[in-house]
Amino acid sequence: MSDEVTLVDESGVERRFSLHDAFDLDGVAYYLVEDVSAPEQVMLLRESDAGLETVDGEEFSRVMKALEEDRIE
């Protein structure tokens, strides 16, 4: 999967990302994306009522471990 999407950051700047994976874990939708202009920048996003939010810290570790262990929907 490598569809391109355009997202608007908190500053209102549009950025293009390649969508690598979309999956559900514990009823939450997550998206693994790579910045088109800076491929080394990979982000994990979570769908929320407010839109897409960056995932980090403990939640990032938990989700990435589930992804590595193939425990995603």
Residue 28's closest CA among 60, 68, 1? Answer: 60
Integer Cα distance of 55 and 28 in angstroms:
12
Which tokens is 66 given? Answer: 């589930």
Q: Which domains does the chain have, with CATH numbers?
A: 3-68 (2.30.30)
Confidence (pTM): 0.83
- Residue 21, phi then psi, degrees to nearest 5: -160, 145
Angle at 5 between CA 70 and CA 34, to 5 degrees: 55
- Tokens, residue 31: 């998206």
Per-residue pLDDT of the chain (73 residues; tens, 9 = 90+): 458 888 888 899 999 999 989 999 999 999 999 999 998 999 999 999 988 999 999 999 999 999 889 888 7
Query: Could you tell me the two tokens for 57?
Result: 């810290």
